[in-house]
C-alpha cells in the first residue's frame, strides 16, 4: 500500500513538474483574437490550438531552450524562442500575428488546409472556416454563410429556396445552430433563401457534421458554431456593401473606460426592394434587416468580458382583399465572462437569451380574420472549464441550464370552433453537466472519452390532457485516433445524442416552422453516431479526407398535417400531432482539397442513404402497416467542385490595376424521392388520385454551375471591389416540384397522366460592390 502511495505521489510530482506556457494570440493589425491557431514546440512536436478566445496553453516538462511556432492560415508564421530555467515558473507569451501578403494570403475555400492532420484533438466531421472567405464562393445576390456550407460534402440543401441544412441525412431541426454560444432557432430570411447572419459581422464558422463532443447536446445531427467578430482594437474601420437586394455596413473600433481597453463592432444590413416598389408593379412589400453588435472589455490580465447581440426580422405585407402581414425574426443577447484561474485552467461563464417569433396577421374591414403567433424564449446559463493537466491530458467540463418558454396561439373574430384554434404554452427546463477528456499517449494515439448527462423536465403545459415529462439521460461519447505518420491519421468515433424539441415543418424548413417541446406522451428523440475517418496531407498542395458513417434514430417526431384539421385544445396531446418513428443513415464523404499556384478549392463526393419509418405514414393499404421510405431530402450522390483562381497570385499581374479573382461552384445531386398518382376514382364532382409511396420515383438530377468574377482595387486606406456573379450559368432546369395533370381521352375513355415541373433558379446574373475603409 505504501509503495502504491509513493508511486502515485511520484507520478503526481512529475505531473505537476512542468512549465505552463500560455497567452493570447491576436491579429497585429486589429488586435482581434486569432481562433484555432496552431502552437507547436518544434523540438518535442507537442502542439495545441488556441481556443475561441484566442487563448492557448502548452506545458513543457523540462528545462532548456525551445522554439514555439505559431501558425494560422492567412497569417505569417511566428517563431518565438523561450528559455526555461525554472520548471516551476510559468511563462506568459502573448503573440501578435501579421497577415500574410496578398499574393500568398490566398483565400482558403472550405476550411483549414494543413490544419489538424497532426493536431492532438480528434476533429470528427469538422469544417472550420473564416467567414471572410465565404465571399470567395459565388452566391445568389450576396454571400451567405449557410448557403456556403451547402457546398460541403455531407451537407445537402433541399432546394434553392431553402437554407435548411440536411447534414448526413438529418433534418434541419436536428442541427444545433449557435451564435456566440447562444442557440438560434430559425435563422432564415426571405423564406429560407438567405440566412440571418451577416458575413461581415462573423469571424469564424465551425460545422461539426457528427460525432461531436460532450460539450454540445440537445440535437441529434450536427453543431454549427458561429462566432461574431470582436472588432478592431487598434483603429476605426468600416466596410459598406451594395448588392442587388440589400445594402449593409459594418463599423468597428477600439474603446476604453479609464485604463481598461476593449473593442466594439456593429453591423447592419437591410434590403431595399420595398423602397423601389412604388416605381415597379408586381414588387411585394417586403423587407428584412439584420443587426449584429459586440462590445469587448479586458477587465484585467485574467478577466475579459463581452456582450453581443443579434436582432433581425422579415416583414411581408400583402393585400389579397384582406390585409395580410407576416413577420418573423430572431434576437439573441449574450454576456460572457472569461477568467484564467491559473495558466492551466481557463473558465467561461455565459448567460444568454434567444428569442424567435413568427406572426401571421390577417385583417379585413377592421376585423381580425386570423392571427397566428409562435414565440420561443430560451434563457440559458453555461459554465465551462478548460483544464490542461499536462500536454497529454486536457479536459473540458461544465454545466448548462436552459429554460424554455414556447407559445403557439391562434385567434380570430370569425366564429371558428374555439377549441380547434390551437393554444399551446409550454415551459421546460434542461440541466446538463458534461465532461470531455483528451488523452494523448505519445504522438500516435489520442483518446477522447466524454459524457453528457441531461435532466429534462416540463414545468408547465397548457394542454389539459398532456402529462408532464421528466427525463434523465446519459449520453456517452468516445473517439480514438491513430496518427499513422506525420501527414495522416485514422480515427473512429461513437456517440449517443438526445433531443427534447420537435419541429412542425411543412416538408422543408421555413419561417412558419413551429418548435414544440416534448411532454409526457412523446419520448425524447435519440440517435447514435458511428464514424470512421481518414485524413492525409498528400503534399504541400493537396490534402484528402474521408469519413464513413452510420447514424440511427429512434423516436423521431414529424408533424402530421391532419393535425391542422383535428386539433382540439381540451382533448389532444403532442402525440396526437406527430408521427413517431425510426430511421437511419449510412454514407461516406470524400474530399480532395487543393491549394496550387493560385488555384484553391476542393472536389468532394458524398454518398448517402437515409431511410425513415413513421407510424401511420406511408402505410401499406393492404396491411395498414407503415413502410420505410427514403425521405424527400435523400440525395444519394452528391458531387461538389469549388475552385477559386487568383490570377494576381499566379502571375503577379493585375487587370486594370486590380487584383483579379474568378470563383466557381459546381454542384451535382441525384434526384430527390417523390410520389406519383397510381390510382384514380370519381366521386361525382371531381376525380381524385391515390398516391404512391413517398419514394416511388425520383425527380431529375440537379446540376448547377455558379461563377463569379471580382476586381479589387487597393487605394490609400480603402479598397473597392465590384463583382459580377452568375447563378446557374448552364441554365439547367432543376426541378423543385412536380404536379400531375390527368386527362381522359374522349374517344377511348382511357386515363392519361402527364406532369409539369416547377423549376428552381434559372440563369441569374447579379452585380454588386464592396467598399472597405
Partner 1 sequence: MKKLLSILIIMVLLAGCDLTSGKRWTEHRVVIAGSLPAGGYLDTGNPIRIGKTISADGGNVSDLFDFDAVVYLKNMTRADSVQLAFYADNSVFGFIDSNNEMKIRFGETYRIDAIVDGNHVWAETTVPDSVFITTDPLGNATGTRGYSTSNTEPLPQIEFDTCNEQFPVEVLFTNNKNFNMRYRYYCLEDFSTDLEYTTVVLGIEHPTSDQEDDWNPDFGGGMRENNWIARYQPILNQNNRWSFNDDYYASGFSFYGKYLFEIKIMDDNYYKYLSYPEGYRFGGVNGGLGYLGSDYAVTFYTNIVKQYSR
661-680 positions binding partner 1, by CB under 8 A: 673, 677-680
Name the residue nearer to partner 1 (CB basis): 276 or 320: 320
* Choices 245-253, 643-651, 748-756, 765-773; region in contact with partner 1 by CB under 8 A: 748-756
Please say whether the beta carbons of 573 and 135 come within 8 A: no
φ/ψ region of 646 (left if φ > 0, alpha if ψ in -120 to 50, else beta) reads beta
* Choices 108-116, 246-254, 446-454, 627-635; region in contact with partner 1 by CB under 8 A: 627-635
Cell representation of residue 211: 460525432
Least distance in Å: CB of 537 to partner 1? 14
Pairing of strands 303-320, 322-342: antiparallel
Distance of alpha carbon 58 from alpha carbon 44, whole angstroms = 12
* 758 binds partner 1 per the rule CB under 8 A: no
Name the residue nearer to partner 1 (CB basis): 341 or 740: 740
* 638 binds partner 1 per the rule CB under 8 A: no
Q: Is the dihedral of CA 188, 192, 198, 199 positive or negative?
A: positive
Residues within window 307-326 making contact with partner 1, judged by CB under 8 A: 318-322
Cell representation of residue 370: 386570423
Q: Which x/- pattern, by CB under 8 A, does the window 571-610 give for partner 1? A: ----------------xx-x----------------x-x-
Name the residue nearer to partner 1 (CB basis): 302 or 367: 367
* 276 binds partner 1 per the rule CB under 8 A: no
Q: Which x/- pattern, by CB under 8 A, does the window 363-382 give for partner 1? A: -xx-x-x-------------
Determine the straight-line distance between the first and last CA of the chain, rounded to whole angstroms: 70
Q: Which residues contact 564 (CB under 8 A, 6 or more apart)?
A: none
* 620 binds partner 1 per the rule CB under 8 A: yes
Residues within window 48-77 making contact with partner 1, judged by CB under 8 A: none
When binding is defined by CB under 8 A, the residue of 455, 492, 693, 713 that contacts partner 1 is 693
Least distance in Å: CB of 128 to partner 1? 23
Least distance in Å: CB of 282 to partner 1? 4
* Choices 202-210, 304-312, 396-404, 686-694; region in contact with partner 1 by CB under 8 A: 686-694
When binding is defined by CB under 8 A, the residue of 636, 719, 731, 759 that contacts partner 1 is 636
* 695 binds partner 1 per the rule CB under 8 A: yes
Name the residue nearer to partner 1 (CB basis): 353 or 611: 611
Please say whether the beta carbons of 102 and 659 come within 8 A: yes
Please say whether the beta carbons of 223 and 178 come within 8 A: yes
When binding is defined by CB under 8 A, the residue of 686, 716, 717, 747 that contacts partner 1 is 686
When binding is defined by CB under 8 A, the residue of 255, 534, 541, 668 that contacts partner 1 is 534
* 696 binds partner 1 per the rule CB under 8 A: yes
Name the residue nearer to partner 1 (CB basis): 215 or 699: 699
- Picking from 205, 112, 105, the residue whose alpha carbon sits closest to that of residue 165 is 205
Least distance in Å: CB of 692 to partner 1? 5
When binding is defined by CB under 8 A, the residue of 6, 10, 12, 744 that contacts partner 1 is 744
Least distance in Å: CB of 748 to partner 1? 8
Q: Which residues pair with 441 in a beta bridge?
A: none
Extended strands (E) in 509-636: 514-517, 525-537, 542-559, 578-596, 599-614
Least distance in Å: CB of 360 to partner 1? 16
* Choices 127-135, 171-179, 518-526, 739-747; region in contact with partner 1 by CB under 8 A: 739-747
Name the residue nearer to partner 1 (CB basis): 637 or 715: 637
Name the residue nearer to partner 1 (CB basis): 370 or 736: 370
3 state DSSP class of 146? helix
Least distance in Å: CB of 358 to partner 1? 22
Q: If you ran DSSP here, which 8-state letter would residue 200 be given?
A: T
Query: Could you count the other beta carbons within 10 Å of the beta carbon of residue 267?
Result: 25
Distance of alpha carbon 349 from alpha carbon 597, whole angstroms = 44
Least distance in Å: CB of 566 to partner 1? 8
Name the residue nearer to partner 1 (CB basis): 94 or 418: 418
When binding is defined by CB under 8 A, the residue of 637, 730, 757, 769 that contacts partner 1 is 637
Please say whether the beta carbons of 324 and 361 come within 8 A: yes
Phi, psi of 166 (to 5 degrees): -105, 100
Distance of alpha carbon 548 from alpha carbon 522, whole angstroms = 31
| Alpha carbon distances (Å) from 148 to 156, 163, 483, 583 | 11, 10, 31, 28
Distance of alpha carbon 773 from alpha carbon 758, whole angstroms = 44
Q: Is the dihedral of CA 557, 561, 564, 568 positive or negative?
A: negative
Least distance in Å: CB of 325 to partner 1? 15
Name the residue nearer to partner 1 (CB basis): 100 or 484: 484
Name the residue nearer to partner 1 (CB basis): 586 or 641: 586
When binding is defined by CB under 8 A, the residue of 69, 311, 692, 719 that contacts partner 1 is 692
Distance of alpha carbon 184 from alpha carbon 312, whole angstroms = 11
Least distance in Å: CB of 686 to partner 1? 3
Distance of alpha carbon 133 from alpha carbon 111, whole angstroms = 9
Please say whether the beta carbons of 411 and 371 come within 8 A: yes
* 538 binds partner 1 per the rule CB under 8 A: no
* 625 binds partner 1 per the rule CB under 8 A: no
When binding is defined by CB under 8 A, the residue of 565, 570, 656, 716 that contacts partner 1 is 565
Name the residue nearer to partner 1 (CB basis): 255 or 691: 691
- Picking from 633, 638, 629, the residue whose alpha carbon sits closest to that of residue 611 is 629
When binding is defined by CB under 8 A, the residue of 474, 741, 767, 769 that contacts partner 1 is 741
Name the residue nearer to partner 1 (CB basis): 528 or 697: 697
* 621 binds partner 1 per the rule CB under 8 A: yes
- Picking from 434, 436, 577, 471, the residue whose alpha carbon sits closest to that of residue 515 is 577
Q: How many residues bind partner 1 (CB under 8 A)?
A: 74
When binding is defined by CB under 8 A, the residue of 486, 687, 763, 773 that contacts partner 1 is 687
* 562 binds partner 1 per the rule CB under 8 A: yes
| Alpha carbon distances (Å) from 162 to 15, 39, 253, 438, 760 | 52, 39, 35, 38, 11
Least distance in Å: CB of 682 to partner 1? 5
In SS3 terms, 608-674 reads as EEEEEEECCCCECCCCCCECCECCCCCCCEEEEEEEEEEHHHHHCCCECCEEEEEEEEEEEECCCEE
Name the residue nearer to partner 1 (CB basis): 67 or 680: 680
Q: If you ran DSSP here, which 8-state letter would residue 524 be given?
A: P
Distance of alpha carbon 251 from alpha carbon 773, whole angstroms = 9
Least distance in Å: CB of 152 to partner 1? 18
Please say whether the beta carbons of 176 and 612 come within 8 A: no
Residues within window 403-442 making contact with partner 1, judged by CB under 8 A: 414-418, 420
When binding is defined by CB under 8 A, the residue of 101, 441, 622, 623 that contacts partner 1 is 622
Please say whether the beta carbons of 472 and 430 come within 8 A: no
Name the residue nearer to partner 1 (CB basis): 342 or 751: 751
Amino acid at each position: 500500500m505504501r509503495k502504491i502511495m509513493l508511486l502515485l505521489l511520484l507520478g503526481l510530482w512529475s505531473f505537476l513538474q512542468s512549465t505552463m506556457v500560455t497567452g493570447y494570440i491576436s491579429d497585429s493589425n486589429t488586435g482581434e483574437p486569432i481562433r484555432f491557431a496552431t502552437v507547436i514546440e518544434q523540438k518535442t512536436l507537442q502542439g495545441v490550438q488556441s481556443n475561441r478566445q484566442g487563448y492557448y496553453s502548452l506545458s513543457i516538462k523540462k528545462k532548456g531552450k525551445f522554439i514555439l511556432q505559431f501558425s494560422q492560415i492567412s497569417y505569417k508564421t511566428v517563431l518565438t524562442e523561450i528559455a526555461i530555467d525554472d520548471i516551476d515558473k510559468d511563462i506568459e507569451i502573448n503573440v501578435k500575428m501579421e497577415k500574410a501578403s496578398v499574393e500568398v494570403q490566398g483565400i482558403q475555400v472550405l476550411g483549414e488546409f494543413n490544419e489538424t492532420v497532426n493536431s492532438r484533438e480528434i476533429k470528427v466531421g469538422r469544417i472550420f472556416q473564416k467567414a471572410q472567405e465565404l465571399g470567395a464562393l459565388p452566391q445568389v445576390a450576396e454571400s451567405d454563410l449557410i448557403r456556403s456550407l451547402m457546398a460541403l460534402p455531407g451537407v445537402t440543401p433541399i432546394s434553392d429556396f431553402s437554407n435548411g441544412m440536411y447534414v448526413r441525412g438529418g433534418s434541419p431541426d436536428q442541427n444545433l445552430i449557435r451564435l456566440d454560444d447562444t442557440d438560434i432557432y430559425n435563422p432564415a430570411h426571405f423564406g429560407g433563401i438567405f440566412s440571418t447572419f451577416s458575413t461581415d459581422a462573423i469571424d469564424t464558422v465551425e460545422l461539426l457534421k457528427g460525432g461531436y463532443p460532450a460539450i454540445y447536446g440537445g440535437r441529434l445531427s450536427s453543431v454549427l458554431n458561429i462566432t461574431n467578430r470582436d472588432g478592431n482594437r487598434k483603429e476605426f474601420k468600416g466596410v459598406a456593401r451594395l448588392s442587388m437586394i440589400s445594402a449593409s455596413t459594418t463599423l468597428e473600433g477600439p474603446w476604453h473606460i479609464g485604463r481598461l481597453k476593449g473593442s466594439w463592432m456593429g453591423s447592419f444590413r437591410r434590403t431595399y426592394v420595398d423602397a423601389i416598389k412604388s416605381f415597379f408593379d408586381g414588387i411585394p412589400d417586403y423587407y428584412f434587416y439584420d443587426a449584429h453588435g459586440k462590445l469587448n472589455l479586458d477587465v484585467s490580465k485574467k478577466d475579459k468580458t463581452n456582450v453581443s447581440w443579434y436582432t433581425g426580422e422579415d416583414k411581408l405585407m400583402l393585400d389579397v382583399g384582406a390585409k395580410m402581414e407576416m413577420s418573423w425574426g430572431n434576437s439573441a443577447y449574450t454576456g460572457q465572462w472569461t477568467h484564467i484561474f491559473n495558466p492551466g485552467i481557463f473558465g467561461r461563464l455565459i448567460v444568454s437569451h434567444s428569442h424567435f417569433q413568427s406572426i401571421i396577421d390577417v385583417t379585413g374591414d377592421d376585423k381580425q380574420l386570423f392571427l397566428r403567433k409562435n414565440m420561443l424564449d430560451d434563457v440559458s446559463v453555461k459554465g465551462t472549464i478548460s483544464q490542461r493537466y499536462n500536454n497529454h491530458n486536457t479536459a473540458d467540463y461544465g454545466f448548462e441550464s436552459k429554460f424554455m418558454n414556447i407559445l403557439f396561439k391562434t385567434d380570430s373574430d370569425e366564429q371558428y370552433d374555439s377549441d380547434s384554434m390551437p393554444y399551446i404554452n409550454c415551459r421546460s427546463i434542461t440541466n446538463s453537466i458534461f465532461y470531455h477528456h483528451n488523452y494523448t499517449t505519445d504522438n500516435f494515439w489520442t483518446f477522447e472519452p466524454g459524457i453528457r448527462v441531461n435532466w429534462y423536465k416540463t414545468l408547465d403545459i397548457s394542454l389539459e390532457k398532456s402529462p408532464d415529462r421528466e427525463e434523465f439521460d446519459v449520453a456517452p461519447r468516445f473517439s480514438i485516433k491513430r496518427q499513422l505518420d506525420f501527414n495522416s491519421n485514422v480515427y473512429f468515433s461513437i456517440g449517443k445524442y438526445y433531443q427534447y424539441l420537435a419541429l412542425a415543418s411543412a416538408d422543408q424548413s421555413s419561417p412558419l416552422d413551429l418548435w414544440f417541446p416534448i411532454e409526457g406522451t412523446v419520448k425524447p428523440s435519440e440517435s447514435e453516431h458511428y464514424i470512421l475517418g481518414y485524413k492525409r496531407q498528400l503534399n504541400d498542395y493537396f490534402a484528402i479526407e474521408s469519413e464513413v458513417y452510420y447514424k440511427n434514430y429512434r423516436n423521431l417526431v414529424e408533424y402530421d398535417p391532419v393535425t391542422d384539421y383535428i386539433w382540439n385544445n381540451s382533448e389532444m396531446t403532442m402525440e396526437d400531432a406527430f408521427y413517431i418513428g425510426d430511421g437511419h443513415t449510412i454514407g461516406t464523404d470524400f474530399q480532395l482539397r487543393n491549394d496550387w499556384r493560385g488555384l484553391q478549392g476542393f472536389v468532394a463526393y458524398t454518398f448517402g442513404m437515409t431511410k425513415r419509418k413513421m407510424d401511420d405514414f406511408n402505410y401499406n393499404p393492404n396491411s395498414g402497416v407503415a413502410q420505410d421510405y427514403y425521405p424527400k431530402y435523400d440525395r444519394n450522390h452528391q458531387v461538389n467542385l469549388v475552385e477559386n483562381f487568383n490570377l494576381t497570385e499566379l502571375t503577379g499581374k493585375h487587370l486594370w490595376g486590380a487584383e483579379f479573382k474568378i470563383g466557381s461552384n459546381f454542384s451535382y445531386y441525384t434526384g430527390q424521392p417523390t410520389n406519383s398518382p397510381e390510382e384514380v376514382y370519381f366521386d361525382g364532382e371531381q376525380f381524385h388520385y391515390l398516391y404512391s409511396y413517398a419514394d416511388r420515383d425520383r425527380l431529375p438530377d440537379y446540376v448547377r454551375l455558379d461563377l463569379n468574377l471580382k476586381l479589387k482595387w487597393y487605394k490609400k486606406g480603402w479598397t473597392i471591389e465590384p463583382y459580377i456573379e452568375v447563378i446557374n450559368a448552364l441554365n439547367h432546369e432543376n426541378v423543385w416540384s412536380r404536379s400531375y395533370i390527368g386527362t381522359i381521352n374522349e374517344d377511348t375513355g382511357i386515363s392519361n397522366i402527364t406532369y409539369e415541373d416547377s423549376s428552381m433558379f434559372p440563369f441569374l446574373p447579379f452585380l454588386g460592390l464592396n467598399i472597405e475603409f
